[in-house]
Structure 1
């Protein structure tokens, strides 16, 4: 019998009614195809681990579910994604998923990739293409200059962590939203927190 994480039970029970059978189906297929998986919660969403690494994960939204593999090579996306989380697009019924045989082939393929040590293409690309440090917008630069603690922490962040804050601020569509994010950013930075600190220990 598989070992089930009660947090995932709670997640499924709290998901929209249409999503519950989809989440249960995916969970059952993962355990059937790879009995060695271990369940856990990461970033507040159910994940399945194999060999200490993420095999696959699932998420429920208001009108669809997202299912995907950590290593994209486990599945041929073939235009399924549609901007949705995961590689299988927006799934709202069981008919939107591959059939049971195809699903299990994907899951086994994902486990084989982990066992072989293969890195997801996106991770290999990130390693090969290091982005330069972000350009700090003037309002953030001024706010950091006015707060010595925040400035010191921000300067110690790696470029990726700096970029997360910069993008969050410049993507605000309204000036009032930008100002609110700016104030919140400086407060979090002064406390040594990264932009997505809430999810780092999930």
Structure 2
């Protein structure tokens, strides 16, 4: 996956849904939101807080609302992209430019802006305990330097590594993932650091 430095570059390099993104971008540029790039994709903020983003995927392009679960969604256009995983984020998907109703998009965007200004947000569950998978514990027993390097990370970054391994269903895959993250840990690079700005 490529990470672009500007929204123009992102849209120019989009294969599917380019026209949808152009229209959504124009709608968003007509609001008070500030356009930026985060994680290589277009994101729109108010007072430095993420409100919406736009992106293109294989079968659709769309807009996502970082705190979309708080929106009224009376028209039922918003979906949870990862049911059971994503608490706040909601997407509105378009497969054709003719599906875009500018007034309706603005209604949702303006509600999202107002919610952000009022400080309404669903907080991420930060109290989730860190569970080190057995495969990683084994790697620590074989390599103390790896364990020391791992312990230098913040709890959040440790959790990203642990979850990455644990989410694999098969032991062989979990072991491969341990090998994949080993050099990152030793170089003090977080699993998702390349996505952070």
Question: Structure 2 length normalisation: TM-score?
Answer: 0.81
1:98-135 CA deviation, whole Å, 9 max, x = no partner? Answer: x21111111111111222222x22x1x525xx11221x
1:145-170 CA deviation, whole Å, 9 max, x = no partner? Answer: 33333212323434432222122223
Deviation at 1:87, TM superposition (A): 2.2
Contact 1:82 1:89 in 2 (8 A): no
1:148 has 2:141 as partner = no
- Give structure 2 stretches of 5+ with no counterpart: none
Q: Secondary structure at the match of 1:23?
A: helix
- CA RMSD in angstroms, aligned pairs only: 2.6
Q: Secondary structure at the match of 2:59?
A: coil
Name the counterpart of 1:108.
Answer: 110
Which structure has greater helix proportion?
1
Of 9, 28, 31, which aligns to 1:30? Answer: 28
- Give structure 1 stretches of 5+ with no counterpart: none
Deviation at 1:91, TM superposition (A): 2.3
In the superposition, relative to structure 1, how do residues 6 and 143 fare at CA in structure 2: closer, same or farther (>3 Å)? closer
Q: Secondary structure at the match of 1:81?
A: coil
1:11-30 CA deviation, whole Å, 9 max, x = no partner? Answer: 1111124x011101111111
In the superposition, relative to structure 1, how do residues 50 and 96 fare at CA in structure 2: closer, same or farther (>3 Å)? same
Alignment of 1:117-156 (within 5 A): 117-118=119-120, 120-121=121-122, 123=123, 126=125, 130-134=127-131, 136-156=132-152
1:51-108 CA deviation, whole Å, 9 max, x = no partner? Answer: 11112101111221231112222452837416369623442113444x2111111111
Question: Structure 1 length normalisation: TM-score?
Answer: 0.79
Task: Count residues with an aligned counterpart.
Answer: 187
